[in-house]
Amino acid sequence: MTNMTDMTKEELTDRLIVADAQAWRTWLDAHESSSAGVKLILAKKGITEPTSLTYAEALEEALCSGWIDGRRNAVDARTFQQHFTPRRTASIWSRRNATIVATLIEQGRMRPRGFAEIERAKADGRWDRAYPGQAGAEVPADLAQALAASPTAAARFAALSRAQRYTVIHQVITAPSGTSRRSRITQSLTRLEGTPEA
């Protein structure tokens, strides 16, 4: 495991462990524009060693710097690793992160790179297309219409778990264009109907 003080540019995709939120903030200030990302070690609830940094704290600091969270993996009984990377050009926003960012702006915590990512998202429409989380996701009208036209697909969609339904919904609502959205609906129906895709 790599400590904050002895990382080099070549090692930035290694695991990173910092003492707390302030140390993560310090690391981001020094590396937000030069790193491709890190696998940050985070504490499970109630843990203070080897780090007291929680997921919520890490995410807030990452958003301040224009970074975003990614894949999570278990490490041991006390910690897990969360991948954090600079936000990519076409990266879509979640409503949850947009809400967090609004609070961070009110608190005066946003950094220039974080503001720049928000402005880019507003300029190209990604901000307005922020997607809901699983709890708030509803079947969009065009997907509902397509399901209504296929009783088999509709029945199979209804039988999916909540997480599986959200996967289908998420693929549709995050499509970058109308053409892509229609294609994703068609692909989803094909899978639900159990017919081979062309």
pLDDT of 64 above 70? yes
Q: Residues for the chain: how many in total?
A: 198
Q: What is the pTM of this model?
A: 0.79
Band of the pLDDT at 177, cuts 50, 70, 90?
Answer: confident
Q: Which residues are registered as beta bridge partners of 15?
A: 39
What are the residue boundaries of the structural domains of the chain, listed by start? 2-124, 134-193
pLDDT (average), residues 94-105:
97
pLDDT of 116 above 90? yes
Mean pLDDT of the chain: 90
* Other beta carbons within 10 Å of 74: 9
How confident is the model over 120-129, as pLDDT tens digits?
A: 999 999 999 8
Residue 191's Cα: distance from chain center in Å?
25
Residue 105 backbone phi and psi in degrees, to 5: -65, -45
Residue 163 to residue 159: CA distance in whole angstroms: 11
Band of the pLDDT at 11, cuts 50, 70, 90?
Answer: very low
Band of the pLDDT at 47, cuts 50, 70, 90?
Answer: confident
Q: What is the pLDDT of residue 196?
A: 58
